[in-house]
């Protein structure tokens, strides 16, 4: 219908729905400062006309029609005019009210993401949970955390992720964040909340960083690295690095190690499943050198269940940067990471002809399914022999050279 045919206000939904577009955009009064705006393409939206504290008139959009019905638009308009009468900024109060509404309906991306994170509690080890949650909190929540997750468009995700890559040069991290966000939407999809995933296929259009292993020295440099570790001045950090090099476990497994996991008489370290990446118990045969280090470490009374407790809080393990900083002080920044000891051991043992199955078992690269469960305790004696050979080898290539340390800036 033509707007000249309107006879009553407020406007009924039937009238609003049938209003015809004109060559130019126009507004039609509904009442009490509320207008329906009709564009030439037929799109309709609500606008509120209000007077600012400085006496000037201004417009405030309330949303599109029919998404926002006439009844709802009048309610929102009244709330905002009430805000104006109290001297409040209607734009700010509108935004605050919208956020509260979204949060109450559990419809924001952050609430959805945290619900998804809860499903990972029994799947991820503590370090993985901390790292992944931190990545979402740093890169995603500040931008999309308070947004209605059903309204975030694929192009917005693309622009955000590309922007992080270009501004910070982090490619693997962005791909990890993208994969998490895609899984969060998959979680919403399988729980019946959305019909499509806005992150589907985006990975094909993001820059891919060069895939590199964790930095590690080659075999020729290994003696220099071991000598530097053996001469590191801080006792507990030195012992931690020695064990890390010797046992080539994941750094998080050693940092979080507790004394009750060790049987020094039997020469075994039983890492419980909740601390393992694959959530399966892992048994590490201890060479005699490792037993000697652990025996000495135990004589230093720390009143903590951890082998390497934090100095500030004995109920927690050391920070995940402690070994990184030590390697940096030795002059190996960018050349050796704590995780890189696993690559060194794998390469060296394979080159020396050790059974690949024993090496993979020592690295806790467990197969999925029944085979993985069956094999988890196999090769223990073979692995013990291999671990002892490796510890002997590291001992043989070390000497008493004094290494000068660099001061970290």
Q: Could you give the percent of the chain with pLDDT greater than 70?
A: 87
Between CA 45 and CA 36 the distance in angstroms is: 6
Express each pLDDT in 184-204 by its tens digit: 999 999 988 888 899 998 888
pLDDT score for 125: 76
Confirm whether 339 is a catalytic residue: yes
pLDDT score for 374: 45
Looking at the DSSP bridge assignments, the partners of residue 60 are 48
Between CA 25 and CA 43 the distance in angstroms is: 10
Tokens representing residue 223 in the block: 């003696």
Residue with tokens 């609500």: 46
| SS3 at position 403 | coil
Between CA 128 and CA 121 the distance in angstroms is: 10
Of the candidate ranges 81-85, 135-139, 170-174, 248-252, the one whose mean pLDDT is the lowest: 170-174
- Cα distances from 51 to residues 9, 13, 33, 61, 379, in angstroms, run 22, 27, 10, 14, 80
Catalytically annotated residue among 133, 277, 279, 280: 277
Catalytically annotated residue among 51, 205, 352, 374: 374
Confirm whether 311 is a catalytic residue: no
Phi, psi of 59 (to 5 degrees): -115, 145
Confirm whether 342 is a catalytic residue: yes
- The fold for domain 222-397 equals hpI Integrase; Chain A (1.10.443)
Judged on CB neighbours under 10 Å (0-12, 13-18, 19+), 393 is: middle
pLDDT score for 242: 95
User: CATH for 3-88, among 3.30.300.20, 3.40.190.10, 3.60.15.10, 3.30.160.390?
Assistant: 3.30.160.390
Catalytically annotated residue among 339, 343, 376, 383: 339
Cβ contact 230:398 at 8 Å? yes
Catalytically annotated residue among 216, 255, 282, 342: 342
Confirm whether 374 is a catalytic residue: yes
Give the mean model confidence (pLDDT) for residues 59-83: 89
Tell if the pTM clears 0.85, that is, is over it: no
Q: Is the pLDDT of residue 211 over 70?
A: no
- The fold for domain 109-205 equals DNA polymerase; domain 1 (1.10.150)
Catalytically annotated residue among 52, 316, 365, 406: 365
Of the candidate ranges 94-98, 108-112, 305-309, 346-350, the one whose mean pLDDT is the lowest: 94-98
More confident residue, 95 or 242: 242
Confirm whether 393 is a catalytic residue: no
Detail the DSSP E strand segments found in 282-396: 282-285
Of the candidate ranges 102-116, 152-166, 380-394, the one whose mean pLDDT is the lowest: 102-116
Instruction: Count how many residues are written for the chain.
Output: 409
Contacts of 142 (CB under 8 A, 6+ apart): none
Distance of CA 251 to the CA centre of its chain: 18
Rg (CA), the chain: 31
Instruction: Give domain limits for the chain.
Output: 3-88, 109-205, 222-397
Of the candidate ranges 93-102, 322-331, 337-346, the one whose mean pLDDT is the lowest: 93-102
Catalytically annotated residue among 44, 139, 216, 250: 250
More confident residue, 406 or 19: 19
Q: Is the pLDDT of residue 401 over 70?
A: no
Give the mean model confidence (pLDDT) for residues 161-168: 82
């Amino acid at each position: 219908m033509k707007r000249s045919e309107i006879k009553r206000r407020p406007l009924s939904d039937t009238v609003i729905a049938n209003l015809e577009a004109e060559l130019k955009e126009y507004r039609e009064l509904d009442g009490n400062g509320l207008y329906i705006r009709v564009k030439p393409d037929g799109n309709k939206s609500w606008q509120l006309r209000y007077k600012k504290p400085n006496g000037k008139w201004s417009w405030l959009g309330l949303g599109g029609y029919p998404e926002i019905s006439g009844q709802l638009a009048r309610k929102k308009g009244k709330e905002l005019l009430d805000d104006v009468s109290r001297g409040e900024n209607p734009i700010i109060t509108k935004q605050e009210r919208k956020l509260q509404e979204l949060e109450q309906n559990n419809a924001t991306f952050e609430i959805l993401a945290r619900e998804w994170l809860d499903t990972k509690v029994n799947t991820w080890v503590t370090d993985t949970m901390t790292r992944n949650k931190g990545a979402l909190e740093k890169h995603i929540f500040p931008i999309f955390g308070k947004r209605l997750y059903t309204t975030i468009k694929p192009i917005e995700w693309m622009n955000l992720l590309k922007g992080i890559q270009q501004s910070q040069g982090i490619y693997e991290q962005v791909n990890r964040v993208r994969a998490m966000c895609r899984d969060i939407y998959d979680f919403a999809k399988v729980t019946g909340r959305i019909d499509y995933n806005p992150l589907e296929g985006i990975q094909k259009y993001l820059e891919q960083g060069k895939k590199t292993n964790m930095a590690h020295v080659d075999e020729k440099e290994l003696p220099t690295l071991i000598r530097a570790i053996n001469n590191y001045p801080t006792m507990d950090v030195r012992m931690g690095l020695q064990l890390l090099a010797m046992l080539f476990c994941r750094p998080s497994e050693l940092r979080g190690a507790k004394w009750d996991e060790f049987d020094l008489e039997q020469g075994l370290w039983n890492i419980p499943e909740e601390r393992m990446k694959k959530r399966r118990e892992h048994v590490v045969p201890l060479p005699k050198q490792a037993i000697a280090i652990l025996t000495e470490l135990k004589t230093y009374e720390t009143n903590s269940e951890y082998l390497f407790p934090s100095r500030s809080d004995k109920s927690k393990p050391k920070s995940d940067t402690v070994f990184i900083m030590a390697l940096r002080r030795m002059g190996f920044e960018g050349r050796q990471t704590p995780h890189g000891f696993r690559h060194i051991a794998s390469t060296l043992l394979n080159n020396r002809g050790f059974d690949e199955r024993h090496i993979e078992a020592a690295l806790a690269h467990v197969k999925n399914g029944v085979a993985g469960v069956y094999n988890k305790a196999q090769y223990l004696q073979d692995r013990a022999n291999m671990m002892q050979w490796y510890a002997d080898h590291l001992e043989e290539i070390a000497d008493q050279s004094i290494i000068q340390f660099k001061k970290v800036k």
